Structure 1
């Protein structure tokens, strides 16, 4: 498994670079852009592809993990992990603030976005997310303590061998917020890179 070391950093790039961000050892601190999101509902005319996504290309099966240190309470503010093929095919899982509560959410997009949320009863100081790709499917797990994980969903994404994988954040209704990602890791499986 690779932590966010110099070799991993060199492979990563921004899709919609945020206004402010920096590396601090094993941390990436980001201020999300204002009025940003990844969301696609063609039927109601709401399409956004301007969220902040810090990624690298990964071939084959993998596991991606990150700890998100939660310091925001902006409506629909979100931070997590994303797997992306293009603007019509992607998957994100995040901690999200909605109606005064924090949720673990997933959005699966194959032409149209579908949203699933699970409420977190207490405001956690941090949340761990894990995405595992096996063939065309993605499994999402989350943890409050970094040790005991709960499966949120398993879903189909794509048959394409190479996808973009990384950190995602957005502030759909606000001027942006600060998010801290810690210990971002990607582990290639079965001999893949």
Structure 2
């Protein structure tokens, strides 16, 4: 899915939801280190609510998309990074890479009061740059990802109220560990994808 007319978001122009242990601008990149046992999840199967993961957010208006690129050395179960789309603590989407069963998985969690989770293994993406795009069109968010210059993959089509005020941007968590380092190399906002299928 080609993307044109986007603009780069200055790291300093977005706001942190739950600041990480460390965040440092290194040239054009942002290197983030997570706090211990941080996550976004609501209730389903596990019975707990966590809303203390790290997300660097900017406005996501109707008809726009956010695109985030990152490289991370995932080591512990459930280490994760990607894009967060959020309206409030009970309504949000996180999509990207999560370490599960000793391999990186491409997936999404969609939360509307309670969370769900879908994923697929991408072991060949380990240690490589991943780009995730969340595109808001009408009453939906379309989530896609690619590894380096590979083809885009559809991850999820999820509902989002057309009237909702949403924000979006890079996120990362380390639910069972601490000190996950993620190097975010791109944070951009632009027009929503015109079509669901390329």
* Structure 2 length-normalised TM: 0.87
Please state how far the C-alpha of 1:77 moved relative to its aligned partner. Answer: 0.3
> Does residue 92 in structure 1 map to residue 97 in structure 2?
no
- Looking at structure 2, the residues matched to 88 and 63 of structure 1 have their Cα atoms a distance apart, in angstroms, of 21
Pick from 3, 14, 17: which aligns with 2:8? 3
Please state how far the C-alpha of 1:161 moved relative to its aligned partner. Answer: 4.0
Tell me the residue number matched to 1:170. Answer: 173
Tell me the residue number matched to 1:140. Answer: 143
Q: Which runs of 5+ in 1 are unaligned?
A: none
Which runs of structure 2 are paired with 1:95-174 in the superposition (5 Å)? 95-122=97-124, 123-174=126-177
- Looking at structure 1, the residues matched to 135 and 84 of structure 2 have their Cα atoms a distance apart, in angstroms, of 11
Q: Which runs of 5+ in 2 are unaligned?
A: 1-5, 194-198
CA deviation digits over 1:38-90, x for unaligned, max 9? 00016753100000011112322212112111222111000100100111000
SS in 1 for 2:8: coil
User: Do the aligned residues in 1 keep the contact of 2:53 with 2:172 (CA within 8 Å)?
Assistant: yes
SS in 2 for 1:33: coil
Pick from 70, 80, 83: which aligns with 2:82? 80
Tell me the residue number matched to 1:18. Answer: 20
- Looking at structure 2, the residues matched to 113 and 121 of structure 1 have their Cα atoms a distance apart, in angstroms, of 25
What RMSD over aligned residues (CA atoms) do the two structures have, in Å? 1.8
Instruction: Say which is worse superposed, 169-178 or 121-130, in terms of deviation.
Output: 121-130
SS in 1 for 2:11: helix
Pairs aligned (count): 187
Tell me the residue number matched to 1:187. Answer: 190
User: Do the aligned residues in 2 keep the contact of 1:83 with 1:164 (CA within 8 Å)?
Assistant: yes
Instruction: Say which is worse superposed, 83-92 or 153-162, in terms of deviation.
Output: 153-162
* Structure 1 length-normalised TM: 0.90
- Looking at structure 2, the residues matched to 126 and 96 of structure 1 have their Cα atoms a distance apart, in angstroms, of 14
